[in-house]
């Protein structure tokens, strides 16, 4: 018996794959057809005389339909899992003491925080009422900029006053505080604010 599909998506580039993912999420069975021997379309690379060459795309939009498709269903749990991994790395730092393993745990914390940054930002934006989305984004990136400006100076002062490890323990304390504060971010869709009318 032949398989049955509800629709056909022509092209397995990033747009076609995102469209197919949205169709599956809507309960349909799409058939994705691609002319080439690989998926990805222009978001791919080829080998030319031993060198890897991009076939076109070097950037993908942040936000919008593509992000909604790729991050559908990922919210609180993903952020909590990532923050728990950073907490495990902090415990590893404490157990490593003043050894080379200490640096490995610092690198892993940086990796987990960098990898989850866009998810946390999207989650925070979605938690703001849609009528205040612009202000929410401005405040979020403003606070990020202030933290990015102040933290290195504080780290340096602590490292100068004590030692480099004390500076990293300061960093670990900031991350631990973030792990605690993340539980206060609301879960779920943004609440629609009621428009203000003149009376």
Which tens digit of pLDDT belongs to each residue from 128-185?
A: 777 887 888 888 888 888 988 898 899 899 989 998 888 888 877 877 777 777 677 6
- What confidence score (pLDDT) does residue 190 get? 43
What phi and psi, each to the nearest 5 degrees, are found at residue 159? Answer: -65, -40
Collapsing DSSP states into helix, strand and coil, what is residue 128? Answer: coil
Beta strands in the chain (DSSP E): 7-10, 30-33, 45-48, 51-54
Confidence (pTM): 0.47
**In sequence order, which residues have a C-beta less than 8 Å from that of residue 80 and are 6 or more positions away?**
182, 183
**pLDDT computed for residue 133 by the predictor:** 75
| Rg (alpha carbons) of the chain, rounded to whole number | 22
pLDDT tens by residue, 6-63:
999 998 887 788 888 888 888 899 999 998 887 877 777 778 888 877 776 555 555 5
Which pLDDT belongs to residue 130?
A: 75
Calculate the CA 69 to chain-centre distance.
14
> Structure tokens of 113?
């925080």
d(CA 64, CA 154): 36
Q: Which residue ranges make up each domain of the chain? A: 7-64, 75-184
**pLDDT score, position 29:** 92
- Would residue 188 be called left, alpha or beta, if left means φ above 0 and alpha means ψ between -120 and 50 degrees? left
């Amino acid at each position: 018996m032949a398989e049955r599909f509800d629709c056909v998506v022509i092209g397995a580039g990033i747009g076609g794959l995102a469209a197919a993912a949205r169709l599956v999420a809507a309960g349909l069975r799409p058939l994705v057809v691609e002319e080439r021997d690989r998926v990805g379309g222009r978001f791919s690379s080829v080998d030319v005389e031993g060198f890897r060459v991009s076939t076109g795309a070097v950037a993908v939009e942040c936000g919008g339909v593509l992000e909604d498709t790729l991050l559908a269903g990922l919210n609180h749990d993903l952020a909590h899992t990532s923050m728990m991994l950073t907490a495990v790395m902090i415990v590893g730092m404490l157990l490593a003491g003043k050894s080379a393993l200490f640096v490995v745990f610092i690198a892993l914390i940086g990796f987990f925080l960098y990898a989850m940054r866009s998810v946390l930002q999207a989650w925070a934006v979605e938690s703001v009422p849609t009528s205040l989305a612009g202000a929410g984004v401005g405040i979020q990136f403003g606070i990020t900029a202030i933290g990015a400006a102040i933290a290195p100076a504080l780290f340096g002062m602590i490292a100068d006053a004590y030692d480099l490890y004390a500076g990293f323990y300061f960093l670990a304390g900031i991350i631990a505080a973030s792990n605690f504060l993340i539980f206060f971010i609301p879960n779920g869709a943004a609440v629609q604010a009621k428009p203000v009318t003149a009376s």
